[in-house]
Amino acid sequence: MAVAAENSQLQRAVALLLCCLVVLSGDQSFSQALPPAKSELVGKVTATHSVTSRNGKVIIVNDVLYADDTLRTDASGRMSFELQDGSILNMGSDTELSIVTHDANTGETLVNLNSGKLRTRVNKLQNSGKFAIRTPHGTVHAWGTDFFLDVSDNSTELIVYSGVVVVSSANGSSGLGSKLLLDVNARQDVLLDDSGVSYLRLTPESVEQQTIAETIAPQTVPQAIVERQPITKSSHMLRNAAIGGLAAGAALGAVFGLRGSKSQSTSSSTPPTIPAH
């Protein structure tokens, strides 16, 4: 009897140990799926097209963004994302940028645009916040404005759609035909290169329309939908739950389909609009 009792206690101990190992293993896999705790949440992806990535991994709509993320699009890729203060950035093809910092309370933001095309619609800044985009050829400072940047190997082109943008040269010589600092108003554009900032030029409306089109993601999510989906760290879990619900709905639909029931659904999307000047 004593031997039987000891064996029973041993079996219970082994079972308890196995349960603990399973729980610990589940907690570890869950923690590995979460983003690094040190990262600061800065925004959310609202639209993608073709191949888009964050830190070398594929990124999709509703994925959240963190400080120091590096975003890329391929030769036909497009991506739109919204920062927590409401500012919207649209990436064109062959574009690479990194979000250095973003403060949702003040709008203080720094983005490094390494290459490619980017349209930026800056929300009205609070207090003393500064919104800056840095390129290899200079820095653009904006306050509640809408503008476009095209960064190539030799220069950066700036086109302002609305508001006023202050541009400064990275290492200009301020020689003939160039400046180190310049205010650029709506419907004006300038070129930044190693010699500094060019004189102001009037931007033809056709060029404005073309550059806006170059940064629109075909799958752009309507703004009304974006506003109903707050940026939270649990976005991935909510998305997974939604996917599970859709899968269950699809299974039920299949069962009813076998019984002769049919359903139809239609969807519509509002095409992105170009702001009036």
In the chain, the N- to C-terminal Cα span, in Å, equals 92
Determine the length of the chain. Answer: 277
3-state SS record for 13-66: HHHHHHHHHHHHHHHHHHHHHCCCCCCCEEEEEEEEECCEEECCEECCCCCEEE
Round the average pLDDT of the chain to a whole number and report it.
76
Map out the domains of the chain as residue ranges: 41-226
- The pLDDT value given to residue 30: 34
Average pLDDT over residues 220-224: 42
Give the architecture (CATH level 2) of 41-226: Sandwich (2.60)
**Tens of pLDDT, residues 86-123:** 999 999 999 999 999 999 888 899 999 999 999 999 98
**What pTM does this model have?**
0.66
The Cα–Cα gap between 185 and 193 comes to 19
- How many helices (H) and strands (E) would you count in the chain? 4, 18
